[in-house]
Amino acid sequence: QRFRFCGDLDCPDWVLAEISTLAKISSVKLKLICAQVLRDLLGEPIEYDKILKLTSDAKLESGDVKATIAVLGFILSSAAKHNVDSESLSSELQQLGLPKAEHASGLCRSYEEKQSPLQDRLRACSLRLSQLGSVRWRVDYTLSSSELQEVNEPVVHLTFNMRDRECEKMTAIPVTLSANKFWVLLAGEALRGVAV
């Protein structure tokens, strides 16, 4: 059977298996655990101790606690990825066996509140090869050189600062252009009557 929140594909077996674990936790605690998982998905640090305390009542083993976090993370991020509204998510979770009254509706209400920030965050995390940080420029005027006594030509120095996503490093790429070359860059064509 196909589910929208799984991208119109079958639900993965491990998610089906963990739904019963989710049903063991009371709905109030489930909503609080959801809030923690959403914090993690939005890039804030997750408070694992709080989750351990919340799950201690349901007497879950440590493997089950991690599975709960994983399955909630999958449901919420996958629903945001495929832009599923909270009503459809609720009905699909009920089809999977999550009790409606509190569990599914509580989960979906948490999802609905954070759907936009979650989608913005996922958009920002999408693959990007490199990013332009800033451009700096300077115009010099060459008076003379060892080759020619009177040069009198402007020269443009540009520095592109590129940010590499993972290393958070800025690499500087310096470029030096003569005035005519700079016109080509700017206008896409040479100034009338000037050889480049």
Partner 1 sequence: MLLVLSVEHRAHLGCLPRAGDAAVGELGRLALEQLRRGAAPRACESAARKLNISVDIIQHGVEGLVYLLTESSKLMISEADFQDSINVLGFSDELNKSLVQLYLDNRKEIRSILGELAPRLPSYHSLEWRLDVQLASRSLRQQIKPAVTMKLHLNENEDRTAQVLQTDPATLLHLIQQLEQALGEMKMNHCRRIVRNMK
Q: Report the C-alpha gap between 165 and 95 in whole angstroms.
A: 40
Residue of 166, 169, 174, 189 that binds partner 1 (CB under 8 A): 166
DSSP state of 77: H
Assess contact for 23 and 97: CB atoms under 8 A.
Answer: yes
In the complex, the smallest distance separating the C-beta of residue 41 from partner 1, rounded to whole angstroms, is: 16
- Our finding on whether 127 is near partner 1 (CB under 8 A) is yes
Residue whose structure tokens are 């209400």: 109
Which burial class, exposed, middle or buried, applies to 35 when counting CB atoms under 10 A from its CB (0-12, 13-18, 19+)? Answer: middle
Q: Which of 8, 101, 124, 126 binds partner 1 (CB under 8 A)?
A: 126
Query: Which of 188, 192, 193, 195 is in the footprint of partner 1 by CB under 8 A?
Result: 188
Of 77 and 90, nearer to partner 1 (C-beta) is 77
Residue 78 or 105 having the CB closest to partner 1: 78
- As a whole number of angstroms, the distance between CA 44 and CA 66 comes to 18
Q: Which residues of 58-74 are buried (b: 16+ CB within 10 A; e: fewer)?
A: bebeeebbebbbebbbb
Q: How far is the CB of 128 from partner 1 (least distance, A)?
A: 8
- Give the CA count within 13 Å in the CB-facing half-sphere of 51: 24
CB 151 within 8 A of CB 144: yes
Number of shown-chain residues binding partner 1 (CB under 8 A): 5
Q: How far is the CB of 77 from partner 1 (least distance, A)?
A: 14
- Residue 129 interacts with partner 1 (CB under 8 A): yes or no: yes
Instruction: State which residue, 32 or 122, has the beta carbon closest to partner 1.
Output: 122
Stretch in the footprint of partner 1 (CB under 8 A) among 22-30, 49-57, 94-102, 126-134: 126-134
The piece of 11-19, 123-131, 139-147, 178-186 that touches partner 1 (CB under 8 A) is 123-131
Contacting residues toward partner 1, per CB under 8 A: 126-127, 129, 166, 188
